[in-house]
Amino acid sequence: MSFSNLSLEKQSYKLQPSGWLRYLSFSLDHKVIGLQYLICGFIFYLIGGALASAIRIELTSPISDFMPREVYNQVLTLHGTVMIFLWIVPVVNGAFGNYLIPFYVGARDMAFPRLNAVAFWLIPPAGLMLISSYFITGAAESGWTAYPPLSITTPAAGQIIWILSVLLLGGSSIFGGINFIATILKLRRPGLKLMQLPMYCWAMLGTSILVVLSTPVLAGTLILLSFDIIANTGFFNPALGGNVIVYQHLFWFYSHPAVYIMVLPAFGLVSEILPIHCRKPLFGYSTMVYSIMAIVVLGLVVWAHHMFTSGTPPWMRLFFTIATSFIAVPTGIKFFNWVATLWGGKISLNSAVLFSCGFIVNFVLGGITGVALAQVPFDIHVHDTYFVVAHFHYIVYGGSVFVIFSAIYHWYPKFTGRLMNENLGRIHFLLTFIGFNLCFAPQHWLGLNGMPRRVAEYDPQFAFVNQLSSAGALLMAVSTLPFLWNAIRSLFNGQIAGDNPWNGLTPEWLTSSPPPVENWIGPAPLVKEPYAYGVNKKNQNLDLNESNESTSPNQ
């Protein structure tokens, strides 16, 4: 490592604001950008949650009474779009990716810091535009899937704003993906092999490949859709000779991979969190890597399982049934490996671990219902019902959101130098876990018994179960309070954490907390075994750490 340029780089950072103001600036520091993503995403989570609360309030009674029917559709469209494009995707990719990846590859920043900042700063305006469309013109009404011809015939202004903001968010995500690929493949500290990287790097590499391959297709599709709306073309408008099914294929070609874009990074984060708190190596490192890559490949060829009732030919349905079912195999490997990581560990039962284990349990349930949905004959009954709603909330909430919370508890000391309060964390976990299951478990039954999704009014026989579900949602809303209080209060008087409160071995823990601008004072450590925990590894570990301390600058 050459030091010569360091002072020069420092200078450029000096021009940037310091203190909390830098979080509002066009900062090029990957850590600042990561936290910008996180905070911005969380604000949108609260907005999306408020929208979800509105949905659940409307559904406490079988008639449409809380808001007009059009507004209900707008609310549910906004809820889906905000939660996916402004909360999960930016946070599991952008926030943790930006913060952690440079550490993990031993770099001082991302490959393209400026592109990185641009990618982040596309998000707030896009999000504000999306939300404000509700107040100015009325938001889009056709669901987050925006199926034509409905999206062509509903009021155009809201739909166009929706398209524009999704295009911006997609652009942001593509820029981010390019950046991650370049950082992981090209910025690795010399001497660090791919198979020595922490698992999160692999998850982000896989995710970014999916982003780069599939997001542009969504962009193209939405451009065509906007032509249909503004320019009166007929790509997807049957009245003008168009074909609505083609839209669905193109849309799901992106949006199925998008679900892995939402969950693969979460898998990666769990793989970082569990070994540290179990004091054990990650079980089956190389199979974990291969299964990520298998998920990436399979994830690209299963999209039509969202279209089993759309009039696709039988052979196509069968192909997609088989391909989709097989995703359970690599995913299963990951789950069994995590359980094996727990097995025989010395587990600290703190909030981070609780949320990670909550994730395992919830996701398995969501995954199992997913495999059931993948079976054409099964899906023909429950497609577009609350069974599907339950399936994906088990995965996106029980999966990704649980992992985000877990990751916040885990890395908070890294971000701030202080620990979060454990008792509040446990209360948060308990409320969230109970509320979540109470909210979404009954929805399986609703779907099986005849309640379609995206309705503001429903058969009165479902009223009680819906109220149960709404009560769960209320509990989830309440559960955010201890978390918010905890996160804000700990910032000022949380227990001082020290540099490495968990005794982690991954590179981000081998520097001060919070880290300096260039990540490390001195050379980046070369961590060849990020998971070298365990009793008979102890001595080896110490050697490793020592040799890191004494790394000479020109190594």
Partner 1 sequence: MTTIAPNDKKIDEEISSEAEDHQDHRLFGLLAFLVADGMTFAGFFAAYLTFKAVNPLPSDALYELELPLPTLNTVLLLVSSATFHRAGQALRRNESKSCQNWLITTAILGLAFLASQMFEYFTLPFGLTDNLYASTFYALTGFHGLHVTLGTLMILIVWWQARSPGGRITSQNLFPLEATELYWHFVDGIWVILFIILYLL
Partner 2 sequence: MGGLWIGQNVNLLPIEASANAPVYDELFRVLFSIGTILFIGILGLVIYSLIRFRRKPGQLSDGIALEGNLPLEIFWTAVPAVVVLFIGIYSYDIYDRMGGMTPLAHGDMHTHNSATTESKIWGGIGNASEKTGYESSIASLPIEVTAMQFAFLFHYPEGDIISGELHVPVGRPVSMRMESNDVIHAFWVPEFRLKQDVIPGQPTILNFTPTKPGRYPVICAELCGPYHGGMRSTVVVEDPNEYQTWFNKNAKDETLKT
Positions that interact with Cu ion (CB under 5 A): 256
**Six-digit token string for 400:** 């990704």
Phi, psi of 318 (to 5 degrees): -65, -45
According to the binding rule CB under 6 A, does residue 407 interact with ligand HEA? no
Beta-carbon count within 10 A of 274 CB:
28
Beta-carbon count within 10 A of 14 CB:
9
Q: How far from chain centre, in Å, is Cα 63? A: 34
**Which lies closer to partner 1 via its Cβ, residue 177 or residue 472?**
177
Selected binder of ligand HEA within 76, 100, 123, 168 (CB under 6 A): 76
Report the sign of the C-alpha dihedral through residues 383, 240, 247, 305, in that order. positive
According to the binding rule CB under 6 A, does residue 305 interact with ligand HEA? yes
Q: Minimum CB separation from ligand HEA for residue 256, in Å?
A: 8
**Six-digit token string for 481:** 């309070």
What is the three-state SS of 452-469?
ECCCCCCCHHHHHHHHHH
Kindly give, in sequence order, each residue whose CB lies less than 8 Å from that of residue 501, ignoring residues fewer than 6 positions away.
413, 419, 513
Q: Minimum CB separation from partner 2 for residue 285, in Å?
A: 7
Taking CB within 5 to 8 Å according to partner kind, which of partner 2, Cu ion, ligand HEA, none is near residue 168? none
According to the binding rule CB under 6 A, does residue 389 interact with ligand HEA? yes
Kindly give, in sequence order, each residue whose CB lies less than 8 Å from that of residue 120, ignoring residues fewer than 6 positions away.
33, 36, 37, 40, 94, 98, 172
**Six-digit token string for 351:** 């909030």
According to the binding rule CB under 8 A, does residue 533 interact with partner 2? yes
Contact between residue 425 and residue 350 where contact means Cβ atoms under 8 Å apart: yes
Q: Minimum CB separation from ligand HEA for residue 76, in Å?
A: 5
418: β partners: 496
Q: Minimum CB separation from ligand HEA for residue 143, in Å?
A: 3
According to the binding rule CB under 8 A, does residue 279 interact with partner 2? yes
**Where does this chain touch ligand HEA (CB under 6 A) — which range of 93-101, 207-215, 216-224, 320-328?**
320-328
According to the binding rule CB under 8 A, does residue 449 interact with partner 2? yes
Distances in whole angstroms, Cα of residue 208 to Cα of each of 27, 257, 265? 22, 11, 10
According to the binding rule CB under 8 A, does residue 158 interact with partner 2? no
- Residues 346-365 contacting ligand HEA, CB under 6 A: 364
According to the binding rule CB under 6 A, does residue 447 interact with ligand HEA? no
Q: How many CA atoms lie within 13 A of 72 on its CB side?
A: 17
Question: What is the rounded distance in angstroms from the CA atom of residue 30 to the CA atom of residue 26?
Answer: 11
Taking CB within 5 to 8 Å according to partner kind, which of partner 2, ligand HEA, partner 1, none is near residue 216? partner 1
For 502-518, letters b (16+ CB in 10 Å) and e give: bebbbbbbbbebebebb
Closest CA to 200 of 148, 245, 265: 265
Question: What is the rounded distance in angstroms from the CA atom of residue 504 to the CA atom of residue 533?
Answer: 9
According to the binding rule CB under 6 A, does residue 206 interact with ligand HEA? no
**Six-digit token string for 555:** 């190594």
Residue ranges binding partner 1 (CB under 8 A): 1-2, 4-6, 8-9, 12, 107-109, 111-115, 118, 174, 177-179, 181-182, 185-190, 212-217, 219-221, 223-224, 227, 231-235, 240-243, 246, 249-250, 253
**Where does this chain touch ligand HEA (CB under 6 A) — which range of 95-103, 190-198, 226-234, 475-483?**
475-483
According to the binding rule CB under 8 A, does residue 322 interact with partner 2? yes
Q: Minimum CB separation from partner 2 for residue 91, in Å?
A: 25
According to the binding rule CB under 6 A, does residue 137 interact with ligand HEA? no
Binding interface with ligand HEA (CB under 6 A): 46-47, 49-50, 52-53, 55-56, 76-77, 79-80, 83-84, 88, 143-145, 259-260, 262-263, 305-306, 324, 327-328, 331-332, 335, 364, 367-368, 370-371, 373-374, 379, 383-384, 388-389, 391-393, 395-397, 399-401, 439, 453-455, 473, 476-477, 480
